[in-house]
Structure 1
Amino acid sequence: MISISVNMYNDMQAAKTYKVIIPYSESANPRKKFKIEYTVAAVDRESALRKAEREFESYADYNSASWVRSIEREGIRIWKLLPDKPQTPECIDELARKLASPDEDIVYNSLKALGEIEDSAASSQIISVFRHSNPELVALAIETLGRIGDPSNLGAIRSLYKTDANPRVKACVVSAMGRLALPDDDIVSFLTRALQDEDARVRANAIESIEKLDLPDVTRLLLPMLNDEDNRVRANVIKALWNKEDHSQLLEALKVMAIDDNPWMKASAVFVLDKVDIPGRLELLADMAGDPHPKIRQNAREALFRQHGLECIPWWLETLDNDEEFALIAGKVARMGERALSTVLAFHGQSEKSRRYSSMLLDLLEQQVLKASGWISWLKTKQKRLFKAP
């Protein structure tokens, strides 16, 4: 077996490392089979295969022999390289065979590992778990196939969606469909049916799948569900429709969720504010950061501190409660550099604590100016601080 390492792209922060084995034959000796192995950095299996195929074709073009190399696609294997996980086809196959174990813990751990590795060669063994008596293992098997991302498993997964099926199994089926369906798959009627399911998890997952697949007529399908009794369903509707529908109705629904007595409804409002660029979201998150419910308060604070931009600085400073949070924000402000200086200088805190943290940020920015631009620039910065408007 030939081993070739494809150039890694260091700037792809989301990239993972995959191993790709491509079997091929040569016209000069069609009965003899060959394999070539690539290690590639890619965001997913599909991208890894495309990179490996390009490398394969470029090598064939460079070689310019009189015979032709042909890929035998049925034998292609792709898996993610992870520490402490199987890294060869033989070890992955051994892991897949453990799915036949009568020990449910072994089956569970094997499914989790196979989902992380993403090798579709184990699909048939994973599908065999669909017959297991434990619905939790069936659900995990569906999730595993969804993570692997091979569309050829779509039919087997879809067949599990029945009216009387376990709700968690149905929810996992709907989620996996959103991951695996291709543009020409007839899936609209299936997801429309799932939107009417009595289980809230199924409805919420159906909305996520509709958003992910960018299906047509999404507003007609989802807008009526803005009044659903379930918090996650409502949140997913707002998130899915934000770039497709008039904002006023969605924003009003979100504000109602944010002041609801039900803490789960508030938690879902925080989720939307964290994920969607909604006007006034910094103010809403800052308000919810003072919620009496500890979990809502913590979620809102974390969401607020995850935001980016100069406009966040005043809200961060008024919300900071301890030095650990300050260290997180200080790192963000430091990366903004001198651009943040005028924003911090213009800040007039409403509390002694916020003013103290503002002063600490100015100390940090002054040191950055000194290090980057020298003492004259530092002196000018110090003067701005000393003579800023009260």
Structure 2
Amino acid sequence: MPSTPPDGEPAPVDGSLPAAALEGVGSRPLSLYVHVPFCASRCGYCDFNTYTAAELGAAPGSSQDAYLAAAAAELDLARSVLGPHEVETVFFGGGTPTLLPASALAGLLTAVRDRFPLAVGAEVTTEANPESVDQAYLDTLVAAGFTRLSLGMQSARPRVLAVLERRHTPGRVADVVGGARRAGFGSVSVDLIYGSPTETIDDWTASLDAALALEPDHVSAYSLIVEPGTRLAARIGRGDLPFPDDDFHADCYLRAEERLTAAGYTGYEVSNWSRPGHESRHNLAYWLGHDWWGVGPGAHSHVGGVRWWNVRHPRDYSARLAVGSSPAQAREVLDAEQRRVERVLLELRLSQGLPLEVLTQTERARVPGLAARGLLRVDATSARPTLRGRLLADAVVRDLLD
């Protein structure tokens, strides 16, 4: 089952935020995340807040229709708290958003637009699994205003997909990318995972080359994390599969940088490469600490230094909103130092780096040493991670912070 959410303080039933968090809210960039919690099956490595039909059963409030009504109600709540704020990015994630009928997913975007004006040129993304869409579905999304498709490819090797318990075949990814181009999506991204048990460097190289052959605008390459409580963790714990090796993960990362850079992609964040102008603006909003409201069961939000997360089960989520209550389970109010530390953690993942003025005097004194170790590139105003620094991002932050 999905992992346990963090602790926090009680969240107000009416969804209200402290005055300090709302001060200047209309002048700060705002993004919306819409979490669709449904999946056709649970992949063995997944601990996201997702549910199959069998897991949900016939529990009241757990149907797609109940979810859609509750999501619209949470959008009403967001509008009442934030006001008529212009939205710069919208991201539908999951789960598998494209398990909803195309008309329903398009209707959710209409519900967003009815409550929040979209900025000119707003980025509107949906995630999709290759087996969950066809040409008509993609055409409907573009007509509704979606501009970006993020496609879960994961691997081009059938045996690696089998270990991950992914259901699609590699050739299906090419079909969907072609369909997305015909439909008129402005950006197409593919997601890859490396470091799977039994995967070899040749497997990973083949996946990179297969992804590049599709000529996507954006590639995400994520290191597999074996999460406790997943079927994959259980198989590794029984000795059925080997535990992924850190050195192999590093080799895969370097191979990704080599192949993607040679093909004209720029690594703008530790796990993300894009052609110029096709960076994920929504994910950059997270890394740059912008405001975002997360709609849906288990979704997380952040506005003005206040972070909160919703109850996880679709039944509980729908029940709270049905009686006019906020679905928030708990929240954290970050102080200035916590926000500064988070800024260091996040912005040192970006190729644009971190302004040195964000660091304390003692932290700035450590920067030359990190540069001498080949982990940072430093100029008069900022520190940027090198390739080695990206590979050792967590260690860089640990050695830098007070």
Higher relative CO (Cα under 8 Å, sequence separation at least 6) belongs to: 2
Task: Determine if the TM-score, normalized by the shorter chain, exceeds 0.5.
Answer: no
Structure (1/2) with the larger helix percentage: 1
- TM-score, reference length from structure 1: 0.31
- TM-score, reference length from structure 2: 0.30
Q: Computing the radius of gyration over CA atoms, which structure comes out larger, 1 or 2?
A: 1
